[in-house]
């Protein structure tokens, strides 16, 4: 599996962020080709700061992820994400079972 993780900092207006994310951004992400799984969480800090929200986009492998990155659907989702009212940190990588 290959996963892209996006961490969002606390937005200035959480209610407006949640509405825009749910109503506009989620459908854009769900349209990305090769997307195997899409999860969203609102983590709680355990002795440190936690992001406001974490989104995880799962793909079967690196090839599926690379193909998704080149798609117009991912471009649309990425462009929309830039307009969300929250700082983002994105990273990706292969996910393997721990030995």
Q: Is residue 93 part of a domain?
A: no
Does the predicted model carry a pTM greater than 0.95? no
pLDDT in tens, 43-95: 998 877 899 999 999 999 999 999 999 999 999 999 999 999 999 999 999 99
Q: Range of 73's domain?
A: 14-28+69-85
Does a structural domain hold residue 74? yes
**Does residue 62 lie in a domain region?**
no
Q: Is 44 a domain residue? A: no
3-state secondary structure the chain: CEEEEEEECCCCCHHHHHHHHHHHHHHHHHCCCCEEEEEEECCCCCCCCCCCEEEEEEECCHHHHHHHHCCHHHHHHHHHHHCCCCCEEEEEEECCCCC
Which pLDDT tens digit goes with each residue over 23-54? 999 999 999 999 999 999 999 988 778 999 99
Number of domains in the chain: 1
């Amino acid at each position: 599996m290959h996963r892209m993780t996006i961490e969002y900092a606390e937005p200035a207006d959480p209610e407006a962020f949640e509405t825009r994310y749910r109503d506009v951004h989620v459908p854009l992400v769900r349209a990305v080709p090769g997307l195997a799984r899409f999860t969203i969480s609102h983590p709680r800090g355990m002795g440190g700061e936690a992001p406001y929200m974490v989104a995880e986009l799962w793909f079967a492998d690196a090839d599926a992820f690379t193909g998704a990155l080149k798609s117009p659907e991912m471009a649309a989702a990425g462009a929309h994400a830039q307009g969300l009212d929250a700082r983002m940190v994105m990273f990706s990588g292969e996910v393997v079972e721990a030995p």
